[in-house]
Amino acid sequence: MEKKLAEYKCNTNEAIKLKLVRFPEDLEDDNTTFNPEYSHQVFGDDEVAFGYKGLKILLYYIAGNLSTLFRIEYTSKVNEKFDCVEADDVESKIREIVPPGFCTNTDDFVCLLEKEVNFRPFGMLLHTYSVHNEEAGEDITYQIYKADMTCPGFREYHERLQTFLMWFIETASFIDVDDERWNYFLVFEKYNKDGATLFATVGYMTVYNYYVYPDKTRPRVSQMLILPPFQGEGHGAQLLETVHRYYMSSPTVLDITAEDPSENYVKLRDFVLVKLCQDLPCFSAGNLMQGFSQEMVMEAQQKLKINKQHTRRVYEILRLRATDMGDAEQSRSYRLDIKRRLIGPYKKKQRELAKMRRCLRPEELTNQLNQIDLNMQHEQLEENFQQLVSHYRRVLERLAQA
């Protein structure tokens, strides 16, 4: 029986089929289908739906306004023969995150697709850029807009857009859209269909404006997502740079931060901030070789709204570019400069150890000393340094190609 029941378990990351539909023929084209990276927030940590064979959870979105087709298909479902075992209520789980008003049959969805020509991006246009598409052999135009909940139709559009977070951000949650301190930045692709110009959703970012006493704000990036069909084309960098430039012009903004940034976001931010800072006078090669300075902190904060911690990373990356690592003295100076910063947590442990010597009994102290292996700390410090330099080199390589 257990073996029989195991046949009715489906991996939900494989079962969920996502599409961004521009043309009716996209519905039958497997090349336009993509799958989630995560589904644990909807289907539990195992990311499994029980009770079905050949399960397909179809979530198709019209490319621009994201009107949705939701349908469940399967080849077989458990029934009463299985000792009263019930299939998971997949539909209810999906309905918890997909807003009402979706289509359940293809004909209705195609009718909505025909009206897509009337869809226009929300809010204020901030930036236009183009990316060369090798496959199409032409430049494709993209636009970035800033929107808010006062834009007609945006609230409903955002409800559909945010569903993608559940599939592509590991710890995603929906935000309180009634809080007016949220800003929304959207990326759209312009494309042609039967001679008309249409817009397709590419990705977006939400930013929360925190109050800083007495009269400043600190915008904090909360969520950022470029949809999978558009990833790897540079849209994330364009979006983050555009958002930075938008806030740079505001005298009330202190600096720009991010909430619990992922490793990929940190890599992206490093690239964008280095690109913005590299032409500031304080980051000239001569100044970089003198070491990290208060002038760098002040200029980056005042002109670009970058905080001290991020400015320090920018300095380290640009100093690496200015350093001849083949020169023993320059290489040693750079290594020591970076390690002085990296050693901070280790010095904290040593200060804690000094306190322990005064407070703990000998047997307790021995136990703590066993956990603080100085040789291991030196090895870890060197490993951290090498990983950091490797990442910095990748940032500089990307910068050279930009």
CA distance 20 to 234: 19
Distances (CA, A) of 153 to 119, 149, 157, 199, 400: 10, 8, 6, 15, 41
Position 254, amino acid: L
Residue 305 DSSP label: -
Residue 253 DSSP label: B
Task: Tokens 């029986």: give the residue.
Answer: 1
Ranges assigned E (strand) in 135-249: 138-147, 182-193, 196-212, 216-226
Distance of CA 311 to the CA centre of its chain: 21
> Six-digit token pair at 401?
């190609």
DSSP SS3 for 51: coil
> Six-digit token pair at 396?
């500089």
Please report, to the nearest 10 degrees, the dihedral formed by the alpha carbons of residues 104, 110, 113, 114 taken in order: -140
Which residues are tagged catalytic?
Answer: 259
CA distance 87 to 82: 10
Question: Quick one: which H or E segment has residue 69?
Answer: strand 68-73
Closest CA to 50 of 79, 94, 90, 95: 90
Check if the beta carbon of residue 218 is closer than 8 Å to that of residue 203: no
Q: What are the phi and psi torsion angles at 79 (to 5°)?
A: -135, -165
CA distance 339 to 379: 12
